Amino acid sequence: MATQTKDYYGTLGVKKTATADEIRKAFRKLARKYHPDVNPGDKKSEEKFKEISEANDVLSDEKKRKIFDQVGFYSDNIDAATAEAYARGGGASGGGYGGGGGHAGGGGVPFDFGGFDFSGFQGASKASRAESEGGFGGSFRDVFSGMFNGGRQARGPQPGTDLEYQVQVDFWMAIRGGVTRLEIQRQEQCPTCKGRAVVGGSMECPECHGSGQVTQMGGRMKFNIQCPRCGGSGKVQNACNTCDGAGVITKKEPLEFRIKAGTRDGQRIRLAGKGNAGTEGAPAGDLYLIIKVGTHKLFHRSGDDIHVSVPVTVMEAALGAKIDVPTIDGTGEGAGRSQLKIPPGTQTGQKLRMREKGVPSATREGQRGDQIVEVKIVVPKVQDERSKEILRELQKLNPEDPRAEMLAGV
């Protein structure tokens, strides 16, 4: 499989001649925009942040950047001598994939171009000629990818990966806060090998016989690459039987954590160092908890505001009244109540605001949302004749037609 082309300069939005300071400033600007903590739950921003981090890792390192500019892509398995020899052979120019014939060799270069036909790299028109002459058609990058992807770098300390769990929280706990529990499955450092993945003393690698390099062929090219078994050290150790050479073991773990009052649905809580363990002393990853808040039969939450529909009689709406309405200011899982003034002439569907009767803000200390009360007028079911007479009299005293405006243009 060919290595995917990546334009690290384009990713950071800088020129190929950019200074180290310009690269650093460009990365910081993009990092502030796409950091996962700034865009919780946004997968596109998370992927973009990974891209700019990868680009910065290569371009901010002088040696890595030089290899990228010479070869056109970067791999930890390509050393400076390899990249320089490839560039001298005409394989790359300024980070591109140009042509060039001949072969690259010389002291210390870990691959041999002898007998290789470079005409296959000149483009589509010359690729067919290279094939017919027994040359190697296609992209030089494909060969590099095939060789280097097959190798494995020295293990070294590996940081732990992050974990993400969705947590169901009931309506009242999200509003008032509290402690909840969750069982998670995470990787912990192996107690036998202490995260090193190996036990016992070192011995000569049987794959490379202690040289740290093995030879692989790609077409007519011969590559000396890092030994995939020992990682180039020439030495190997027995894999730990407890963790099967992983350095970590998987365990279930009960977790207790506090939900802050005012926590919102979809909010992302980060617990640093509670993710998977790293190996060989590397730091553990983080645990992210995605909060899923339950609903309530009376209250509907929107941000820090609480919405509730309250029925009122025709007389209360027409004449005005003071009524009791439910609020979230109760205890436990019970609602409280507070008085609300209904202005005379209130219409059904009208919304009345109760200041600071909403949810305490989880981000702004001392602030609360409002409670929005939607009025629903209930029409009485008239049974007796006396009540009907009173309503007919009321209708005569108030003869306005509520549909007059609607029908005016019909």
Mean pLDDT computed over every residue of the chain: 80
Just give the CATH number of 158-197+245-294.
2.60.260.20
What does the pLDDT read at residue 220? Answer: 63
What does the pLDDT read at residue 85? Answer: 66
Asked if residue 338 has pLDDT above 80, the reply is yes
State pLDDT tens for residues 98-132.
333 333 333 343 444 444 444 444 444 434 443 43
What does the pLDDT read at residue 151? Answer: 37
Give residue 212's region: left, alpha or beta (phi > 0; psi -120 to 50). Answer: left
Say if 158-197+245-294 and 300-400 have the same CATH topology: yes
CB 180, CB 260: distance < 8 Å: no
Parse the chain into domains and list their residue ranges.
Answer: 8-149, 158-197+245-294, 300-400
Going from the C-alpha of 45 to that of each of 11, 234, 285, 289, 290, the distances in angstroms are 13, 41, 19, 18, 17
The whole-angstrom separation of Cα 151 and Cα 231 is 8
DSSP character for 121? Answer: G
Q: Which residues on adjacent β-strands are paired with residue 224?
A: 215
CA dihedral 159→164→170→175, nearest 10 degrees, is: 60
Considering the segment(s) 300-400 as one domain, its CATH architecture is Sandwich (2.60)
What does the pLDDT read at residue 93? Answer: 43
Asked if residue 87 has pLDDT above 80, the reply is no
State pLDDT tens for residues 149-166.
433 344 568 888 999 999
Asked if residue 366 has pLDDT above 60, the reply is yes
CB 175, CB 169: distance < 8 Å: no
| Cβ neighbours around 227 below 10 Å, total | 23
CB 211, CB 233: distance < 8 Å: no
Fold category of 8-149 in CATH:
Helix Hairpins (1.10.287)
The whole-angstrom separation of Cα 64 and Cα 71 is 11
Asked if residue 304 has pLDDT above 90, the reply is yes
Asked if residue 211 has pLDDT above 60, the reply is yes
